[in-house]
Structure formats: structure tokens, C-alpha cells
Structure 1
């Protein structure tokens, strides 16, 4: 993991590789993007020895099985069973089976992981990017996103939420980028879907990014700009909630109000593999 500049702004770039790579071995990033005007400020390359937990100086595990506001089915743990470094990648695994943990619906049927940089890295603006291979199957809900660092004080959605990448498993080619704030949250959020051509997203790594500045947030997949949002998109009388520090999140949810429950065709364990997470500032 590299700390180059703990600055207030960020940026990133992505690429994809063949789906034949084994789990946890992401292969080379073949991106030809030149990040003109951007300077790497922070990154986690997940280059610790195989079997290591994530770096506690960078990430904190959030724990629990209360549904996380979406009637999700998983319990988030802090063990290497659900988040581990393997082959130069972070492997986040959702597992099924009997659990000693209690969820909102009773004994938990799934475990998974949710990682945050809260209190450790909280940028304001920049290009923020990760290279990710998502899981597959109905009921899977992987995400790479940001929450306002003031959430504990003002609550959600007033703190703001930037979803760099969300996918629901029954839509294997679709990426969603969205913004949520007071008066434009949940299904009323500023949501844009993008259909990625080629193989399903679970069969290759892709680069997911936002370029975030005062007055605009742009969403990218593999350097394709598919959405730009500005304060003009916010409902009248509502605030643009994206001009303060945010922290980064990675998680793999199972079930919930959006993806629905897994079905008999969803095989476990399912993994989200993260090659790296990077943040850039304007040069």
C-alpha cells in the first residue's frame, strides 16, 4: 500500500483482462490511458503476502447483519474467510451455510465483508478508481462507493453518497453509477445505468472510476464516460451534497430489496476481486 499525498482530490484508471485468470490473480492492466493532469495521491495495491488480512492502517471492517437499510441477508465479518489478500488482489468472499451470527431475519445464512477507509483516508474531490472483477448470480450485489465523512453527524442521505460501481447479479452486463442526497435518494437518486459490451462483468476485470470536482461528478467504465452529474440535476430546493470529504467503501452484499434473494442457480462461494484502489489529485 502506498501513501503518496494525503490530498483533498483524487483520480484513477482501469483495464480488463481475460476471464481465464485464476481467482485472485488479476493479470496485467492493459490500459493505455494517460492520466494527463492527474497525480497519484493514495493507493492500495494489495501486494501483501497471500493469506494476509487487509492493511488495518488503511481499511476498517464494518460488522453486522441488521440488513444495512436494504433487507440484505449477509453478516459482515472481520475474518480472512471473507476478505483476504491472494495473488496480488483483495478477494472478498460471500459464503453460504449455517452461521453462528444473528441477522435481522434470524440465524444468518450468508457471511461477507464490508471495508471502509473511514477516519483513515477521506478525500474531497479527485479521480477515484478501482480495478474489479465482480461476482455472478442472482442476489449478488457488489459495490465500490463513497459516503460523506460527516454521516455520523448529519445522517444519511444528508451526508451524500457516490456509487462509483454497483451491479446486481441478474443484470450481468449492467453497471450503475449514482448519487444520493437529501431529497434524491434510494430509487429517486440520480442513477445512470451503463451496459458494458462483451462478456459478463464477472468474467473479466474492469476499471470503475469517478472524476469528482466542485460542481460536477463524471462516471467511467474502462475510460468510457457514461454519465455526468451537476447541481442542475438536483431537485429544486435540494442541496448538492458533494463538496466535503468522503470515505471509500468496498462490499459484497447478498440479497436485499434491489437484487432480490439468490436462487438455485447462484452458486457459493462468490468472490469480488479487487486488483487495486487508487486516488489521484489534479497536478
Structure 2
């Protein structure tokens, strides 16, 4: 057998293998390029929690993520998230209060709460607004954010994440609005984030919002736009934001970001207060 035929013989099964792999790839059609378009939103919320009641959060709107880092939070956080425990989550005086506490609980040194609207209130597009006051203290990491409900494109970050408000206590009064996707995330140094310094983020309430449309996600603090992320039309790796997402409201303790300068135990108990969360429908026009 000459060199040509030997090479052909060796390549033939490789080509078959390559072709068979190609056939098994997911059949995801090429996306249509988004048309340049501005969107407006209704003036009355289609869904909200005004927290004008007493006791635990409304069970028709909120559930709980429960447990520790072993449940897969993925950030090396130090708290145990509890369920329906008034010490960690309470509604009263017109606000929701989530409190992280320094205490021994289920083998960990801190407790907190992580509310989720998953399965109770899931959304595709709209204006999402929260009025909140974040806690001070090194090691605190409060957030109001959104995750995909069905993870249609795979695990994090492929199916996306939208961060409406994040604050880490060692960087006092600096708030962050971000998105994460397979193409754009902090693990590969491409995360899309904007920050704003607010002199009184921990002592006064401020309004944080995102406008989520098929074309863009824009972020605002007290109606001032600080963030913009556009749909490039290149598919889900850059834009997985065509599926339903849900709310999360929590305080983490420590972790890869929140704990970069340690944890000051004198900062606890540490509470985030939320005056309301609201969703306004996008107007199709």
C-alpha cells in the first residue's frame, strides 16, 4: 500500500468520526439579526410586592433557596440559607428585611435568606425595579438579581444571569449592575458590568432597575442610566436572554467576591431593606 492509500485509509475513519460528531450537535438555528428599536413600558406594574403586610414574605410570590455552599451556589460563600425563619427574613413597617447573622447553624458560622420567585413569578422582558438599602460591613454581599427558570441553554453561565443590584461591603457605597453569558462572564475576563458610587447606599433607599427587551438590557440607578448591553444577533452564547427569568433577593457572607478582604464579624447582624419590587410589562409596538 503506497503512502497516498495508507494516508487515505487512516483518514477515512477519522472523517467518519468527525462527521458523526457533527450530526449529533444541537440543531440551533441561526438567529435573526435584531432590528434597531426602542421599547416603552406600561406605567402600572403587572406584578409587584409592596411589602405592606406583616410576617413572612408572601408565599404566593416567594419561595426559598435553602442550604449551604454544598448546594451549588458556586462562590465559596459562608452562610446557610434558611427557610421561613423570621430571624433571617421578615416583612414589617412596609419593608422586607433580610438579615445575615453570625451564629452556629447546620455546621456553619452564619445564616441568611435567599428569596426566589421561581415557579411563582417568571418573566420574559419588561422593566424590573427594586427600591432598596444595602448593609455596610466587610464581608457582606447583598444582591437583587435574576436567573433563568428553565436553564434552556445549559448551566451557568450559558443560560445567563442579570444582576440588578450588587454591593460588597469592603467597597462601601459602590453598586454594580451586570450581565453574565457564556461569551461574557468574569471567569474569562469578559463580564459586562457598570458601577456607580452612591454616598449613602447603606443609609438611604435608592431605586435600581433594568429594562430588558429583545434588543438590549439597560441598567439604571435612580433613573440615571449606567449600563447597556446589546443583543449582537450572534446567538445564545452572547444573548441567552430570550427565555423566562425570575427574581432573587439575598445577602451572602464572604465568598469569592464578597470575602476578598475577609469578613468583619462585628458587622453582623447585617440587614438589607427592600421597600418594593415591581415589574412593568414591555409594550409591543
TM-score band by shorter chain is 0.7 to 0.9
Q: Deviations over 1:61-106 (max 9, x none)?
A: 110112610000000001111001121110000000222x1xxxxx
**SS class of match (2:202):** helix
* Contact 2:141/2:254 (8 A) holds in 1: yes
* Paired positions, count: 239
* Contact 1:136/1:266 (8 A) holds in 2: no
Query: Structure 1 segments of 4 or more deviating over 4 A?
Result: none
2:133 pairs with 1:130? no
Bigger CA radius of gyration: 2
* Contact 2:216/2:229 (8 A) holds in 1: yes
RMSD: 2.2
Looking at structure 2, the residues matched to 85 and 262 of structure 1 have their Cα atoms a distance apart, in angstroms, of 30
* Contact 2:125/2:213 (8 A) holds in 1: yes
* Contact 1:149/1:159 (8 A) holds in 2: no
* Contact 2:184/2:191 (8 A) holds in 1: yes
**SS class of match (2:257):** coil
Looking at structure 2, the residues matched to 219 and 258 of structure 1 have their Cα atoms a distance apart, in angstroms, of 21
> By how many angstroms is 1:151 displaced?
2.3
Q: Which residue of 2 aligns with 1:211?
A: 211
2:66 pairs with 1:63? yes
Looking at structure 2, the residues matched to 253 and 48 of structure 1 have their Cα atoms a distance apart, in angstroms, of 25
TM-score by length of 2: 0.78
Gaps of at least 5 residues in structure 1 are: 1-34, 102-106
Q: Which residue of 1 aligns with 2:46?
A: 41
2:52 pairs with 1:53? no
Looking at structure 2, the residues matched to 85 and 175 of structure 1 have their Cα atoms a distance apart, in angstroms, of 24
TM-score by length of 1: 0.78
Alignment of 1:140-151 (within 5 A): 140-151=140-151
In structure 2, do the counterparts of structure 1 residues 76 and 238 end up closer, same or farther at CA, with 3 Å as the change threshold? same
